[in-house]
Copies of this chain bind each other. A is one copy, B any other.
Amino acid sequence: MTKELNSVQPKSDEVIVVNRREQILEAAVIVFAEHGYFRATTAQVAEKVGISQPYIFKIFKNKEELFVATLERAFERITRSFKGVNAPADQIVWEAIRVYERLMETHPNEIILQVQALGIRDEAIRQVIRQGMRDITELVKQIFVTAGMEHPEVEVSTFMANGMLCNISMTLGMPELKPKHLDRG
């Protein structure tokens, strides 16, 4: 049922040292997205990696820190994706949408993770998501301004709102909730 993720073939005698931290994060994203932060157990994450449950705590101080790390990773991927975006003013929004849509296809679990995090009341997690939202907003604004857009503030806000509705639509499994703009130009 739960497939291990660390299926690494050592080439002859050369031992491939996989990064345990990365492996754990990779598994954690999946487990957290499926069961939610609180229902997910460190044992499930460990099982998916193929290590013992206590070993998680050799690498992450506690469960919260593990979740924070997965969340930060998710936000970093978003900002990294947006960093390269560049287009003339009349195309920049569609370009940004395109980039984000691809991200949602390739890393749906990270999107789910973020929607989860919106509702978590633990302060450490709230801080991460606040910072993440700030970073994305600022970055998108910078992109829109650079493209020479008319009303960047309003456009950024609209972009964030529709992006959020996209996330929620996906997390809830309600495709009918997706923003209607996106249907056709």
Interface residues of A (CB under 8 A from B): 34-39, 112, 115-122, 126, 129-130, 133-134, 137, 153-154, 156-158, 160-162, 164-165, 168, 171-174, 177, 179-181
Return chain B residues, CB-CB under 8 Å to A173: 126, 130
| Closest CB pairs A-B (n = 10) | A116-B119, A38-B38, A157-B180, A161-B161, A36-B121, A161-B165, A119-B119, A154-B180, A161-B162, A115-B119
Q: A116-B119, A118-B118 are in contact. Are A168 and B164 (CB under 8 A)?
A: yes
Q: A118-B115, A118-B118, A119-B36 are in contact. Are A133 and B172 (CB under 8 A)?
A: yes
Return chain B residues, CB-CB under 8 Å to A171: 118-119
Q: Give chain B nearest CB distance to A125 CB in angstroms.
A: 10
Q: Give chain B nearest CB distance to A93 CB in angstroms.
A: 14
Residue contact B133 to A157, C-beta cutoff 8 Å: no
Return chain B residues, CB-CB under 8 Å to A118: 115-116, 118-119, 168, 171-172
Residue contact A160 to B177, C-beta cutoff 8 Å: yes
With both beta carbons as reference points, the residue of chain B lying nearest to A114 in the complex is identified as B119
Q: A154-B181, A160-B165, A177-B160 are in contact. Are A172 and B130 (CB under 8 A)?
A: yes
Residue contact B121 to A34, C-beta cutoff 8 Å: yes
Q: Give chain B nearest CB distance to A43 CB in angstroms.
A: 17
A129 to B177, CA, bound (A): 12
Return chain B residues, CB-CB under 8 Å to A161: 158, 161-162, 164-165, 179
Residue contact A36 to B120, C-beta cutoff 8 Å: yes
Residue contact B172 to A129, C-beta cutoff 8 Å: yes
Q: Give chain B nearest CB distance to A67 CB in angstroms.
A: 12
Q: Give chain B nearest CB distance to A69 CB in angstroms.
A: 18
